[in-house]
Amino acid sequence: MNSVPRLFVESVCLCLDRRSIRESCKILSRWGQVFSAFSKKIHTLRVFVVKEEGKLFAAAETIVRNNLVPLDSVDPKFITSFRISMCIVECVNKYCKEITLNQVQRLVRLIKPTTQGRPPVRHDYESCNEIIFNFLDNFSTTEIVTKLVSMRLPVDSMLLCINWKEDQAVAEEFLNNTGPLYRIDISYTHSALKQSTVDAL
The tens digit of pLDDT for each residue in 16-58 reads: 888 889 889 998 888 899 999 999 999 999 999 887 788 899 9
Q: Where in the chain are the domains?
A: 1-40, 43-200
Residue 19: its pLDDT value, please?
A: 86
Residue 147 carries which side chain, given as an amino acid letter?
Answer: K
Average pLDDT rounded to a whole number, residues 99-122: 76
In this structure, are residues 129 and 157 in contact, taking their beta carbons and an 8 Å threshold? yes
**Within a 13 Å sphere around the CA of 122, how many CA atoms are in the beta-carbon half?**
8
Beta strands in the chain (DSSP E): 43-50, 55-62, 68-69, 79-87, 97-99, 130-135, 157-162, 183-188
How confident is residue 90, by pLDDT bands cut at 50, 70 and 90? Answer: confident
Ordered DSSP codes for 146-176: HHHHHT-----EEEEEE--HHHHHHHHHHHH
